[in-house]
Structure 1
Amino acid sequence: MEATKLYLVRHGETEWNAGGRFQGHSDVPLSNFGRQQAERLALSLKQTKIDAFYSSDLSRAMETAQIIVKEHGTQVNYLPDLREINFGVWEGLTYDQISQNYGNLSVQWRSNPLDTQIPHGEKLQDLAERCQRAINEIINQHAGENVLVASHGGVIRVIVANALGFDLNHFWKLRLDNVSLTVLEYYGQQKAILELFNDTCHLK
């Protein structure tokens, strides 16, 4: 069986990234620095054969994908299921602010995010289910092809953890930098091989 290769790209840096603020579903645009990061990745991938492009419908991921796709003369498909986790009332806050204002809940989130309900937000289980739905849809439509997916840190961590059979309660242990490149080869929906993780060589 020929592999479907997914090029998973975390979006470029935003002002909220730089300030350590949780973004979630908040539609925060790329900063000028984030756009420069995306341009560097676009140049690095210019000679890579990519058959289809997908993105979250949040602007920071959309713009990252749009910058990369310019080098390939095609269009980007947008999937809401590829959005970052909805952090509800935590969006716009820093890690320290969340720890101070939501002490017990923040501890519970760190130890058991799969089942922890963020007020007006999602559980990690919700994110995992819609991420897998999106990945299955992409694999079904592009069997044996190379597909670039521009998304978010939490989304890509969950996709990788699911592919490798990791306990999703430990997904935060996977470091994922802005405009990093992660590559997974899928042989159907059930078998995947991690080829590359959190590569940022194009930024050096």
Structure 2
Amino acid sequence: MRTRIYLVRHGETDWNSGGKFQGHSDIPLSDKGREQAKRLAKRLKNVDIHGIYSSDLCRARETAEIAAKPHQLTVQTMTDLREINFGGWEGLTYQEITEKFGESYSCWSENPLMTRIPFGESLQDMVDRCSRAMQALILEHPGETLLIVAHGGVIRTIVGTSLGINMNLYWKLKVDHVSLSILEYHGWDKAILELYNETCHINP
């Protein structure tokens, strides 16, 4: 039986607009992010959704809660759906990271799967936990449609692994705030990408 997964990135935060790496830092939505989430809710209000899951970080959870209101569903959180742990890079801009952690950032840029961020994770760590979360959800919800609200890195990981992409190139997948992507799973190991990074609900 097929399982349809609606994947959404959380709304914008002040750290996003400031160009700061967030990772596991629990940064709330900005006013702009909340407005984006309301537009997402309007876009999805007529979709027959059976369950809503999100990362436990507040920017994803709040986005999911706003989207859940028209469906009268309770958001269930999963720590495995968190963004990659950027460790010592969190709260810093790209320029600050390259100045303070130049060598480690260079290694991570070339081989993120196997390079552990200082005090954080490797991309392989996130791939493993996201795969574990998706397998559990697909097995638990055969024949149903789920909304998952997570983070840019998580969505790149889920889409990339589903399509067999070399995950060292995962940054080539663009994921905008509150963008919508749809995957249809026929069993755990067979997925079809139906839609990717749609933003017409926030960019009419």
TM-score, scaled relative to structure 2:
0.98
CA displacement at 1:115 relative to structure 2 = 0.6
Partner Cα distance (2:14, 2:190) in 1 = 37
CA displacement at 1:104 relative to structure 2 = 1.4
Partner Cα distance (1:131, 1:74) in 2 = 23
1:55 counterpart residue number: 54
| Secondary structure of 2:70's aligned partner | coil
Partner Cα distance (2:131, 2:76) in 1 = 17
CA displacement at 1:107 relative to structure 2 = 1.0
2:114 counterpart residue number: 115
**What CA deviation, in whole Å up to 9, does each residue of 1:125-170 have, x standing for no partner?**
0000000000001101101100000000000000000000001000
**CA RMSD between the two structures:** 0.6
Partner Cα distance (1:121, 1:147) in 2 = 29
1:202 counterpart residue number: 201
| Secondary structure of 2:71's aligned partner | coil
Partner Cα distance (1:96, 1:116) in 2 = 20
CA displacement at 1:76 relative to structure 2 = 0.8
CA displacement at 1:101 relative to structure 2 = 1.1
CA displacement at 1:33 relative to structure 2 = 0.2
| Secondary structure of 2:201's aligned partner | helix
Residues 44-193 of structure 1: pairs in structure 2 closer than 5 A: 44-193=43-192
Which structure 1 residue ranges, 5 or more long, are not aligned?
A: none
CA displacement at 1:108 relative to structure 2 = 0.9
**What CA deviation, in whole Å up to 9, does each residue of 1:19-78 have, x standing for no partner?**
110000000000000000000010011001000000000000000000000010111111
Which structure 2 residue ranges, 5 or more long, are not aligned?
A: none
Partner Cα distance (1:3, 1:76) in 2 = 22
Instruction: Name the aligned partner's letter for residue 22 of structure 2.
Output: Q
CA displacement at 1:14 relative to structure 2 = 0.2
Instruction: Name the aligned partner's letter for residue 135 of structure 2.
Output: N
Partner Cα distance (1:35, 1:166) in 2 = 32
Instruction: Name the aligned partner's letter for residue 159 of structure 1.
Output: I
| Secondary structure of 2:49's aligned partner | coil
| Secondary structure of 1:201's aligned partner | coil
Structure 1 moving runs of 4+ over 3 Å: none
2:26 counterpart residue number: 27
Aligned length: 203
Partner Cα distance (2:8, 2:47) in 1 = 14
